[in-house]
Structure 1
């Protein structure tokens, strides 16, 4: 089973401690999927600077296929991060060479030979999901907290596993939202709620799972870990609750240390 994560990457820079960690939604999912025992690849753009080398070397060390990463003249994306009581607070974001990232023909050929493709809101490939879906490859997309964005309605018909993050308290509202989004029988709408666990809607009913208790050091990467664990369980055709458990276990491991990975 092979997952290809396409889209954003960045260096998470903690200015107060002068520490730099490779990260980004798509990058993290690729790393965590491999950590869960799967084969993974990452496609995106990094700069020709030192941060680009750090990111590429980090991915290779984690066993992620980087053969289709675009190395462009310029700077690698960077996100300013601050830790407040274990929770990460994001500051300024400089997209660098990812701003103009586009897939090449050879990238499409590579993706279509994988089992599943995953991207996210800042990945610059949402317009490709219709083609991915029609080619028969499984698709996953992280909409993060952008529940009301026009992009949701645009690509939800082409997403097998749609992930959202919701920290509100109106459970009835979020359940109705999930039901309205559901488009086809095999599709799953997944909502993570931080320390309140997660919900899944498969068109027939709702599933709820809590969290795996752990010591919280740094919450960065928790949602991406859940996605990777859930997708691993999906490709292994586990039950929905088992997939949710795999996601929760992956998240618990990640938030027990500093940095995404």
Structure 2
């Protein structure tokens, strides 16, 4: 299996630690896949600042191919966060930095993405217009939450696995939303709920998975970790219960390491001011 993340890379700056860690939904997917021995790549946009150079250095270290990514003059995507009771709290961000200009994928880029078995897109990736062109790879799409109804309708027919993070939202509300999504031909829907576990809907049938109770040191990237592990299992034709269990175990390991996947670097002083 080969997987690719398409869209956002974000450097998370921890003001409480004076450290920065590489992240972003699409980039996390590509990086987390390396923990499973999966060949992975990332297609996105990098800035020209020292934050971007740090991001590229981590990708090289993890052997994630980013040769089809572009570099644009300006700031790389970044957010500023802190930890409160070991839960990450976002302070502010530059809303993707140079990614706001779009990905500008070429026919060669699309052909490259279609060489992979699974492609991860997301609501922050500035890449929805390319979804109809992804004809070979299975598409995983992270909508983040239930807040953008119009986005669901636009991309539903072009995705194979829809992912949502809903926290402690009431189960009745979740069921109502899922029924709505199914009208858009979304047949595979993954709902992560933090310490309440996860629910996977396949053709209207719900498979539930309890969370694994561990002592978390940082919750950053836990949902991305779950999505990555589940997708790798699911599109490798493993049974659903095994996929959910594998994803739960991996997400539990994720919250026991700092940042999205370690590789910290000292935070430049100019960002360490609130």
**What TM-score does the superposition give when structure 2 sets the normalisation length?**
0.90
Question: Could you tell me how far apart the structure 1 residues matched to 2:98 and 2:148 are?
Answer: 27
- Does structure 1 residue 209 correspond to structure 2 residue 226? no
Question: Could you tell me how far apart the structure 2 residues matched to 1:200 and 1:67 are?
Answer: 34
- Does structure 1 residue 5 correspond to structure 2 residue 14? no
Aligned length: 259
Map 1:54-203 to 2 at 5 A: 54-94=54-94, 95-102=96-103, 103-132=105-134, 135-182=135-182, 187-203=187-203
1:50 is matched with which residue? 50
Paired residue secondary structure (2:100): helix
Structure number with greater CO (CA < 8 Å, separation at least 6) is: 2
Paired residue secondary structure (1:44): strand
Question: Could you tell me how far apart the structure 1 residues matched to 2:12 and 2:160 are?
Answer: 29
2:264 is matched with which residue? none
Residues 235, 186 of structure 1: alpha-carbon distance in 2 compared, 3 angstrom cutoff: farther
Residues 26, 245 of structure 1: alpha-carbon distance in 2 compared, 3 angstrom cutoff: same
2:265 is matched with which residue? none
Matched-pair contact (CA < 8 Å) for 2:13–2:19 = yes
Paired residue secondary structure (2:65): coil
Question: Could you tell me how far apart the structure 2 residues matched to 1:184 and 1:239 are?
Answer: 25
Give the Å deviation of 1:105. Answer: 2.2
Matched-pair contact (CA < 8 Å) for 1:86–1:216 = yes
Matched-pair contact (CA < 8 Å) for 1:29–1:228 = yes
Give the Å deviation of 1:206. Answer: 0.5
Give the Å deviation of 1:186. Answer: 8.6
Give the Å deviation of 1:76. Answer: 0.8
Question: Could you tell me how far apart the structure 2 residues matched to 1:82 and 1:104 are?
Answer: 38
Residues 227, 79 of structure 1: alpha-carbon distance in 2 compared, 3 angstrom cutoff: same
1:242 is matched with which residue? 242
1:256 is matched with which residue? 256
Q: Gaps spanning 5+ residues in structure 1: where?
A: none
Residues 238, 204 of structure 1: alpha-carbon distance in 2 compared, 3 angstrom cutoff: same
Question: Could you tell me how far apart the structure 1 residues matched to 2:213 and 2:198 are?
Answer: 14
Matched-pair contact (CA < 8 Å) for 1:142–1:164 = yes
- Give per-residue Cα distances to partners, 1:117-169, cap 9 Å, x unaligned: 1111100011221222xx23211100012444310121112110100011244
- Give per-residue Cα distances to partners, 1:178-215, cap 9 Å, x unaligned: 13312688931110000000001111411000112222
Paired residue secondary structure (2:51): helix
Question: Could you tell me how far apart the structure 2 residues matched to 1:127 and 1:259 are?
Answer: 30
**What TM-score does the superposition give when structure 1 sets the normalisation length?**
0.94
Matched-pair contact (CA < 8 Å) for 1:197–1:211 = yes
CA RMSD of superposed structures (Å): 1.6
Residues 105, 61 of structure 1: alpha-carbon distance in 2 compared, 3 angstrom cutoff: same
Matched-pair contact (CA < 8 Å) for 1:185–1:203 = no
